[in-house]
């Protein structure tokens, strides 16, 4: 997978010299995993509790085991997370070989073998898939931009900013916050305008400013998108806790934007 979009860590993972010990490499691998997100929940797999274990041998062989909330979590998202984790771990200096294993999933064998062989999604599901997953990933980035817009705009609205005022603001007008930084990163990931001089409200598909008569609907839709993502996250984290009761924090509440796996199966 080539199009991994990640949250750069606040401090980039240290460029670990080969002489650094196993502990240093392990720390760097864990930091690298923290840049891998569930594409639908827009949250790192580490805070979601999806990383079951992470070990590095003296020879630099890294092994990561991943787990998901259900046996039937959607295989396309599962594939993206396993492949992204493989890419992130492989890139860590000091890692001589990487192995990422998805456990307890109906398609685990196909996904694990496909990622290990660098085969891509289509080849991994021979005859069952017709295209790679880049467009799927982009769709969820657009959702993340919308949800992130609500996160940034809602506090401003509480302070009395009218929708028309919000539409006149640029990213540079907004006080710095983690939510703002995240919104800028998501926009940049999509190739959308993300500089300080660009409008706060843009169409996440085209990057065009939102037309005045569409502002109300745009904000309403941003709120709805955030709610949907948050609801998914809450259900998925509950399912994960049920499946792995001792392995997940009681309230795995990531900062700001909450979001669980898209991957649940409603009955």
Partner 1 sequence: MRDAILAASPQVYTYPHRRVRPRTGLEEGDLYTKDGEKYFIVDSHMHYWNAAPSNWVPGAEQYAKGWIECFHAYQSLGPAETHWPIEKFMAYTEDDLMKDVFEDGHVDVAIFQPTYLKEWYAEGFNTTERNAALGDKHPGMFIANTRFDPRDGDNGLDELRRNVERYGSKGVKLYTAEWNNGSRGYKLSDPATYRFLEKAQQLGIKNIHVHKGPTIWPLDKDAFDVSDVDHAATDFPGLNFIVEHVGLPRIEDFCFMATQEPNVYAGLSVVIGGLMHARPKFFAKVMGELLFWVGEDKMTFGSDYGIWEPKWQIEGFIDWDYPSDEFSDFPRVTTATKKKILGLNAAKLYDIEVPAEFLVPAQAGAPAAKDDAALVTGT
Coil, strand, or helix at residue 175? coil
Element (H, E) at 141: helix 134-158
Neighbours of 173 (CB within 10 A): 14
Residues that bind partner 1 (CB under 8 A): 40, 69-72, 74-77, 106-107, 121-122, 125, 128-133, 136, 139, 143, 162-164, 167, 212-213, 215-217, 219-221, 223-225, 227-228, 230-232, 234-235, 238-239, 241-243, 261-267
As measured in angstroms, the least distance from the Cβ of 240 to partner 1 is 9
As measured in angstroms, the least distance from the Cβ of 156 to partner 1 is 14
As measured in angstroms, the least distance from the Cβ of 210 to partner 1 is 10
Query: Would you state the torsion angle of the CA atoms of residues 36, 39, 42, 45, taken in this order, to the nearest 10 degrees?
Result: -40
As measured in angstroms, the least distance from the Cβ of 24 to partner 1 is 38
Query: Could you give the angle at the alpha carbon of 186 between the alpha carbons of 180 and 192, nearest 5°?
Result: 105
DSSP 43: E
As measured in angstroms, the least distance from the Cβ of 252 to partner 1 is 13
As measured in angstroms, the least distance from the Cβ of 179 to partner 1 is 17
Q: Which residues contact 179 (CB under 8 A, 6 or more apart)?
A: 148, 151, 152, 256, 257
Cβ closer to partner 1: 16 or 225? 225
Task: Please state at what angle helix 75-90 crosses helix 22-33, rounded to 10 degrees.
Answer: 140
Pairing of β 37-38 and β 43-44: antiparallel
Cβ closer to partner 1: 11 or 206? 206
Cβ closer to partner 1: 22 or 157? 157
Cα 71 to Cα 113: distance, rounded to the nearest angstrom: 18
Q: Which residues contact 98 (CB under 8 A, 6 or more apart)?
A: 61, 62, 63, 64, 86, 89, 90
Cβ closer to partner 1: 94 or 261? 261
Cβ closer to partner 1: 176 or 267? 267
Cβ closer to partner 1: 7 or 230? 230
């Amino acid at each position: 997978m080539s199009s991994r979009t990640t949250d750069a860590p606040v401090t980039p993972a240290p460029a670990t010299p080969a002489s650094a010990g196993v502990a240093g490499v392990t720390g760097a691998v864990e930091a690298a995993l923290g840049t891998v997100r569930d594409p639908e929940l827009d949250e790192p797999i580490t805070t979601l509790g999806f990383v079951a274990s992470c070990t590095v041998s003296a020879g630099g062989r890294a092994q990561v085991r991943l787990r998901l909330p259900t046996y039937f979590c959607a295989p396309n998202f599962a594939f993206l997370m396993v492949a992204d984790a493989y890419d992130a771990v492989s890139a860590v200096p000091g890692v001589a070989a990487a192995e990422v294993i998805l456990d307890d999933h109906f398609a685990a064998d196909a996904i694990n073998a496909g990622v290990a062989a660098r085969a891509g999604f289509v080849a991994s599901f021979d005859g069952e898939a017709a295209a790679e997953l880049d467009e799927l990933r982009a769709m969820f980035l657009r959702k993340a931009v919308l949800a992130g817009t609500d996160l940034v705009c809602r506090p401003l609205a509480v302070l009395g900013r009218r929708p028309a005022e919000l539409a006149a603001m640029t990213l540079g007008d907004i006080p710095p916050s983690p939510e703002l930084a995240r919104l800028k990163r998501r926009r940049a990931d999509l190739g959308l305008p993300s500089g300080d001089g660009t409008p706060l409200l843009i169409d996440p598909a085209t990057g065009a400013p939102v037309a005045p008569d569409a502002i109300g609907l745009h904000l309403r839709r941003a709120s709805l998108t955030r709610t949907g993502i948050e609801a998914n996250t809450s259900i998925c984290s509950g399912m994960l806790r049920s499946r792995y009761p001792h392995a997940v924090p009681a309230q795995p509440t990531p900062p700001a934007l909450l979001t669980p796996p898209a991957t649940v199966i409603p009955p």
